[in-house]
Amino acid sequence: NAASLLLYAAPILTFTRVIKNRSTEEFSCTPYIFALLNCLLYTWYGLPVVSIEWENLPLVTINGLGTILETSFVFIYIYYASPKRKMPVLIMTLSILVVFGISAFASSFALHEHRPRKMLVGTVGMAASATMYSAPLVAVKRVVETKSVKYMPFYLSLFSFLASLHWMTYGLLGHDIILAAPNFVGCPLALLQLVIYFIYRKNKGNMVESQVSDVEKKADMGNPNMTKTQNVDIEKAIIDLEMTVEVRAKDGNTSTQTTNC
């Protein structure tokens, strides 16, 4: 439970930065959305509706807390995201809530025994867990492209590895393949993220960001969406600068001729 708590709490540092800067920058919300689905499903899986009495109480406690944390992160992201990023996040969040709602409804009313209920919720939960652990690969791709670990939080990768290792062991010892299976995927994926982080950890990507900034500035100068007045002002400034250079050049030549005389 401690490892999972650290995993779910790790994004606090990231979202403290988001709130401070009032921007989601280049962070992706995908890992937090699928973490929310994972927490919802495994909280439901551990309740007596699906499991036999309270045999999986640890699942309920840690994933219940995880649900609260991940919900908070998603809401913060939506609040500070740009309009372009906000809509896809809202659609994805609503989609995972629909998936959870269907799973909960079917396991409660369509199935009447614990075993088929566990199979249904557990199967959907396995898919959600595997997706949750693989979601940060989006950040890994960005790290490889930019040679910068700026947008791949280290602690999220570390605690993801520890939590998946813990639940894989817990599932194997309890002979519960539904708990163990997704972590066979999650453990190596989290380890891959750590390896990538340590390869690029010394490169903060400042040079790349600087180059991108320069390109963006140049693009703004030639932006077709600028008004005619702005374009005229820019052209006038360039002409004035050229005239100033020419005058100074002539003055320099005149001074040189006077000295020679």
Q: What is the pLDDT of residues 118-130, one digit of tens each?
A: 999 989 998 888 8
Rounded to 5, what percent of the chain is helix, strand, coil? 80, 0, 20
Percent of the chain residues past pLDDT 90, beyond the cut: 34
DSSP state of 261: -
Q: Is the pLDDT of residue 243 over 50?
A: yes
Among 17-21, 209-213, 242-246, the range scoring the smallest mean pLDDT is 209-213
Is residue 153 helix, strand or coil? Answer: coil
Q: What confidence score (pLDDT) does residue 225 get?
A: 47
Q: What is the dihedral of CA 87, 81, 33, 168, to 10 degrees?
A: 150
pLDDT tens column, 167-181: 888 888 888 888 888
- Note the pLDDT of residue 120: 93
Averaged pLDDT, 188-197:
90
Task: Report residue 36: phi and psi, to 5°.
Answer: -65, -45
User: In whole angstroms, what is the distance from residue 60 CA to residue 29 CA?
Assistant: 24
Cα dihedral 143, 149, 153, 157 sign? positive
| Residue 98 confidence (pLDDT) above 90 | yes
The band of 204, judged by pLDDT with boundaries at 50, 70 and 90, is low
What are the extents of the domains in the chain?
A: 2-207, 221-260
Distance between CA 171 and CA 118 in Å, rounded?
A: 14
At 30, is the secondary structure helix, strand, or coil? helix
Lowest mean pLDDT among 18-32, 107-121, 156-170, 230-244: 230-244
Distance CA 84, CA 24 (A): 12
**Residue range 46-62, pLDDT digits in tens:** 999 998 888 888 889 99
In this prediction, residue 260 has a pLDDT band, given cuts at 50, 70 and 90, of very low
pLDDT over 50 at 3, yes or no: yes
| Vertex 47: Cα angle to 42 and 52 (nearest 5) | 115
Residue with tokens 């995201």, as numbered in its chain: 81
pLDDT reported for residue 237? 53
Average pLDDT across the chain, whole number: 80
pLDDT at 208 > cutoff 90 = no
Residues above pLDDT 70, as percent of the chain: 77
Q: Pick the closest to residue 69 from 31, 101, 36, 45 (CA basis).
A: 36
Mean pLDDT of 155-184: 86
Cβ(140)–Cβ(73) below 8 Å: no
DSSP code for 149:
-
- Which band of pLDDT confidence, cut at 50, 70 and 90, is reported for residue 214? very low
> Considering the entire predicted model, what is its pTM?
0.70
Residue 253 reports pLDDT greater than 70:
no
